[in-house]
Amino acid sequence: MEFFLYLIYLVITLVVVSLGDYYFRLLYLSGKDTFEKQELTDWARIIPSKIVSIFESAGSLQYGLLAFGLSAFFAYVWTLTGGLIGSPHYTDSFGNYFFLSFIMPVLVLAFYSFISSEVLRAARISRNSGSFLARLLNQEIPLLSGIFISVIASNLAVYGLYHEISFLFVLPNVLILLVLLILRWNGKVKFGGIRVDREEEDLEDLGEDS
């Protein structure tokens, strides 16, 4: 029952964050002052196109879907880990709050470039080799999206089914993850003065190669 509820919230969260990103771009980044009704309410067009663009952000829908699915599954298992070291994963305990919190997604977001580079270096694979691992790790946006959305869905499923963890933890936790993910999709997240942005990394790589 909990996993089924998690899947429902996974889909709902994906839809909500996609709409949030669309309106954030439209209202704050487009530079427009007036909008047509279709731009604001044509959800049947907005939602599917936005979701597909997330999966295709690195140029491959197939690998984007795979990366999203794998990272979402990893994140879901991560949120259950509190139950292995203490009381059940849905109870009001410190371990569960840690594994359900935004800490792991934010760390992955902050150090994704470093982590992916180190994994490829350890495997002796070039990022541009075209190998399965290289192509998978190049799906930065789908991978990060899977982790963030999965942790949000797990929070909602655990709270919605058991009501044992604090709502005052779930609400800010979910909001932080939603805001950070939307900012990352738009290249607005900075850590330690280093912009975590795929386009800038590609430009730096091209400069080094030349």
Helix ranges (H only) for the chain are 2-24, 37-41, 43-55, 61-80, 82-85, 94-100, 103-122, 132-137, 140-162, 167-185, 198-209
Q: pLDDT below 70 — which residues of the chain? A: 190-210
Residue 54 contacts by C-beta under 8 Å, 6 or more apart in sequence? 18, 64, 68, 141, 142, 145, 185
The Cα 48–Cα 104 span in angstroms is 28
Domain boundaries, the chain: 1-205
The verdict on pTM exceeding 0.85 is yes
